[in-house]
Amino acid sequence: MATVTRAPSVFTTTPSISSSHQCHKSSSWVSFRVQHTENSTVSHHLAAFSSSGSSFFPTRDDKGLRKVRVVSAAMANSPRSTVLVTGAGGRTGQIVYKKLKERSDQYVGRGLVRTEESKEKIGGTDDVFVGDIRNADSIVPAIQGIDALIILTSAVPKMKPGFDPSKGGRPEFYFEDGAYPEQVDWIGQKNQIDAAKVAGVKQIVLVGSMGGTNLSNPLNSLGNGNILVWKRKAEQYLADSGIPYTIIRAGGLQDKEGGIRELLVGKDDELLQTETRTISRTDVAEVCVQMHWNFSFYCVVCYLDRVAVYMFVWEQALQFEEAKFKAFDLASKPEGTGTPTKDFKALFSQVTTRF
Ligand SMILES: NC(=O)c1ccc[n+]([C@@H]2O[C@H](COP(=O)([O-])OP(=O)(O)OC[C@H]3O[C@@H](n4cnc5c(N)ncnc54)[C@H](OP(=O)(O)O)[C@@H]3O)[C@@H](O)[C@H]2O)c1
């Protein structure tokens, strides 16, 4: 079950009904005065409405007009969720951070970066925290008070000097001491999940990589890091944590425009056997951001004699249910083939695997 909160707004079709609306931090009320209400069915409809999370208190004012007050437990003036993206200075993390900031009507965005230099790179504002995920204490301030966490940190292999592409062959890679996948992708991600659990975070999106089903995947021998093994271990830890999660195992990441390709979800690295095994970082970032709040509106209609009163209610669910407690591979068709993905609910509906 998604956590659902609702807050009503009331609109009427007739000037014989007046309305006012005031929001508080933890509640909202809407009152409207109705003439000739003795035989109206409003109480009946409002009672039904009440069962969806709001309360209604009919009273009379001094002009003999009936006044109906609506009290909601929802945060009508604060539908935004606070979302932290870690690895916010990274190539995909930066895009997620930017998207969160651009959607300030939906999100209070935060970033976690490893260095002051990275902080400056993404704007240097107070919502960018500096911390090292290998040091559990250093990430607590960033995680305090957030609703959702998007993990986009990763050990980063470095190319050994001296590689000359003109001579052919393959470059060699290494990890710096203390920055191997075991420390960054396992311990560092575990620290984030543990801190999120303590802080009561409601949702974690973890971006990992396709290829983890095959121990012999060449990425594992890169810099002797076993990167996919340690990433997989962290994914399992998240899946066992009890926190609602979504694990996105991306295909080869490309720095290309997003929103112009059809996205594909898969499982168990099956997409790696096809021609469609890459995806743009912008598309991965969009999927991460789409994963969170999902707003919908519905309308309750009350008939007062022959007058209709419409109540528009927004509903806020923690995420697309389809993607909750799920793990999936993500790639895209080449540009110009297929239909660019716009309906993320339909995309996530295709996801069937919990791990
Ligand atoms: N490259 C691919 O083709 C590919 C394919 C599939 C999946 N993926 C996965 O997709 C994700 C995003 O990839 P990307 O290329 O966008 O990432 P990226 O640019 O390599 O960014 C990784 C980020 O992690 C941060 N980080 C590393 N160690 C840290 C630490 N100890 N504390 C805090 N932050 C730390 C880095 O910060 P600094 O910059 O300060 O070091 C960097 O910003 C990664 O998990 C990656 O493995 C990649």
For each of the chain's 355 residues, which pLDDT tens digit applies?
333 333 344 443 333 333 333 232 222 333 333 333 333 333 333 333 333 344 444 445 555 545 444 433 333 444 689 999 999 999 999 999 999 999 999 899 999 999 999 999 999 999 999 999 999 999 999 999 999 999 999 999 999 998 888 888 889 999 999 999 999 999 999 999 999 999 999 999 999 999 999 999 999 999 999 999 999 999 999 999 999 999 999 999 999 999 999 999 999 999 999 999 999 999 999 999 998 765 555 566 666 666 767 666 655 554 578 899 999 999 999 999 999 999 999 999 999 999 9
Would you say residue 179 lies in a domain? yes
19, 49, 77: which is the final residue of a domain?
77
Looking at this protein, which amino acid is placed at residue 13? T
Q: Are residues 43 and 70 in the same domain?
A: yes
Instruction: Give yes or no: residues 25 and 87 share one domain.
Output: no
Residues 61 and 118 both lie in one domain: no
Q: Within this chain, do residues 8 and 63 fall inside the same structural domain, yes or no?
A: yes
Mutate which of 153, 186, 210 for ligand 1? The one with the most ligand atoms within 8 Å of its CB, which is: 153
pLDDT of residue 164: 86
- Per the structure, the complete domain to which residue 216 belongs is given by 81-292+322-349
Q: What is the reported pLDDT for 12?
A: 39
Q: Does one domain contain both 47 and 121?
A: no
- Determine contact, residues 29/22, Cβ cutoff 8 Å: yes
Same domain, 58 and 142: no
Instruction: Determine the distance separating the centroid of ligand 1 and the alpha carbon of 84, expressed in angstroms.
Output: 15
Q: Is the C-beta atom of 133 inside 6 A of ligand 1?
A: yes
Please give the Cα distance from 337 to 290 (Å, whole number): 23
Residues 68 and 188 in one domain: no
For helices 188-198 and 227-239, what crossing angle results, to 10°? Answer: 10
Together in a domain, 56 and 95: no
Q: Where are the alpha helices (DSSP H) in 199-280?
A: 218-221, 227-239
Domain co-membership, 146 together with 261 = yes
CB 344 within 8 A of CB 290: yes
8 A C-beta contact, residue 191 and residue 139: yes
Helix runs in the chain, H state only: 42-50, 91-102, 116-121, 140-143, 181, 188-198, 218-221, 227-239, 281-290, 344-349
Return the SS3 of 130: strand
The predicted pLDDT at position 315 comes to 56
DSSP code string of 283-304: HHHHHHHHTS-EEEEEEEEEEE
Domain count, the chain: 2
**Domain match, 218 and 70 both:** no
Query: How many residues in the chain?
Result: 355
Task: Summarize pLDDT for 226-274 with one digit per residue, the tens.
Answer: 999 999 999 999 999 999 999 999 999 999 999 999 999 999 999 999 9
pLDDT at 174: 97
Identify whether residues 332 and 214 lie together within a single domain: yes
| pLDDT given for residue 129 in this prediction | 98
* pLDDT computed for residue 50 by the predictor: 34
**Cβ–Cβ < 8 Å for 142, 127:** no
Identify whether the C-beta of residue 152 lies closer than 8 Å to the C-beta of residue 83.
no
Query: Which amino acids are annotated catalytic?
Result: 209
156, 238, 280: residue to mutate for ligand 1 pocket, most atoms within 8 A of CB: 156
pTM beyond 0.85, yes or no: no
The answer to the question of residue 123 being in a domain is yes
C-alpha closest to that of 298 among 53, 26, 21? 53
- CATH number of the domain at 209, please: 3.40.50.720
Among the three residues 25, 42, 77, which one is the final residue of a domain in this structure? 77
Do 153 and 188 reside in the same domain of the chain? yes
Cα(104) to ligand 1 centroid in Å equals: 25
- What interhelical angle do 91-102 and 281-290 show, nearest 10? 50
